[in-house]
Amino acid sequence: MAAVRVRWRCSNCQSSSSCNLEALDNAIADLATADDLRGYLDQPELQAWLARLRRTRPEQAAEADTIISAAWARVRAAQDAEAAALPEWAIVGSDGRATEFRDGEAWLVAWRARVDAIEAAPRSIAGRRAALERFLALNGSVLHRMQQHGSVAAALDATALAAQADGRLVAQEQDDGDAVPLAAE
């Protein structure tokens, strides 16, 4: 994610409030994914500004919360539209194409095979963990759709397989010296 920052004071009017709301709105408008939006909103400077705004200017804090809520609604709607375009039982590969499976059982077997292949790949541990993280990111819409359409157990099984593989890789990395947790951990 490219770092997007709010300009804390307007260079024209030196205001630290109304122009910041516009800057917040403009910055958030360019963020297309939940990860990007979450990363932006988790910036310590932004969190401090929002906390200060809530303490000193509750009306503007409410406006900021409205801007943020609207951004989440936009990102979730885009995620839902992306997921709706995928077949019911699909796995998105590194090339971005979805492979469809006949049912949940076949899908889970294929998911397990892909996770196992990533874990056993002839790469560094960091490379395998990064590939596993990318695989999960590519299939985020699939897992989200499954949760919304009654296949929560399959989605949980799939994420558990990935988490177990990552745990084994972390253990190997710790044995080798320096483990670095995934961003999602």
- pLDDT value of position 8: 40
Domain boundaries, the chain: 18-84, 90-176
Task: Give the model confidence (pLDDT) of 143-157 as tens digits.
Answer: 888 888 778 899 999
**Residue 147 CB neighbour total at 10 angstroms:** 15
| Pairwise CA distance, residues 134 & 174, whole Å | 21
Task: Give the model confidence (pLDDT) of 83-96 as tens digits.
Answer: 666 677 889 888 87
Structure tokens at 104: 């949940």
Taking the alpha carbons of 156, 125, 116, 164 in that order, is the dihedral positive or negative? Answer: negative
Confidence of residue 177 (pLDDT cuts 50, 70, 90): low
Residue with tokens 């709010």: 6
pTM of the model: 0.56
